[in-house]
């Protein structure tokens, strides 16, 4: 971990007068990551973002590890209403009484079959949707 920032400056040559953002994904796979992140955070030189999908990165554990230096954002799949908005489909409480009713029901079937993960929603090919969902399943379980 000690080599990350020196390598970053060597390879990226960022402007030191501007905010420097550091993004770490799946950092929970590195032993003692908390100590390193806590140290560079306390230096107040960087804006640090951590993301991951492991139970090791649950909000309670992060808060304990980083002692008040963290904000938790939980990202959920799209609701059906958001799914419709994501696909540019207008919906109101009266839509069920229009000729669009069948189209909305068809979209509901798709939503129930493939879910509301944004990457899956924007994918048009059903085989690719299933590959993405299998990938999510294999990563989580």
- Specify the higher pLDDT residue, 112 or 4: 112
Total tally of structural domains belonging to the chain:
2
Which pLDDT tens digit goes with each residue over 42-84?
Answer: 888 888 888 776 555 555 555 555 655 555 666 789 999 999 9
Last residue within a domain, chosen from 41, 66, 91: 66
Whether residue 60 is found in the same domain as residue 12: yes
Report the candidate in 128, 114, 53, 49 with the shortest Cα–Cα distance to residue 86.
114
pLDDT exceeds 70 at position 130? yes
Whether residue 10 is found in the same domain as residue 54: yes
Query: What pLDDT does 95 receive?
Result: 67
Helix (H) or strand (E) holding 129: helix 126-140
Domain assignment present for 73: no
The reported pTM is: 0.50
Whether residue 94 is found in the same domain as residue 53: no
Here the tokens at position 106 are 């068809």
CA–CA distances in Å: residue 54 to residues 20, 28, 113: 26, 7, 25
Which residue range is the domain that position 11 belongs to? 4-66
Last residue within a domain, chosen from 66, 100, 119: 66
Query: What pLDDT does 64 receive?
Result: 57
Whether residue 56 is found in the same domain as residue 99: no
Domain assignment present for 74: no
Phi-psi sector, 118: left (phi>0), alpha (psi -120 to 50), beta: alpha
- Residues 6 or more apart whose CB falls under 8 angstroms from that of 96 comprise 104
> 3-state SS string over 27-45?
HHHCCCHHHHHHHHHHCCC
Last residue within a domain, chosen from 20, 38, 66: 66
Domain assignment present for 20: yes
Separate counts of helices (H) and strands (E) for the chain:
7, 2
């Amino acid at each position: 971990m000690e080599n990350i920032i020196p390598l970053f400056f060597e390879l990226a040559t960022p402007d030191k007068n501007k905010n420097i953002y550091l993004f770490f994904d799946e950092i929970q796979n590195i032993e003692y990551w908390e100590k390193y992140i806590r140290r560079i955070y306390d230096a107040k030189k960087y804006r640090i973002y951590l993301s991951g999908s492991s139970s090791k990165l649950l909000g309670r554990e992060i808060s304990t590890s980083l002692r008040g230096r963290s904000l938790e954002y939980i990202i959920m799949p799209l609701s059906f209403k958001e799914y419709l908005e994501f696909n540019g489909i207008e919906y109101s409480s009266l839509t069920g009484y229009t000729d669009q009713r069948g189209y909305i029901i068809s979209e509901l079937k798709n939503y129930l079959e493939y879910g509301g993960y944004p990457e899956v929603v924007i994918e048009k090919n059903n085989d690719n949707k299933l590959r993405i969902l299998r990938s999510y399943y294999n990563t989580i379980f």
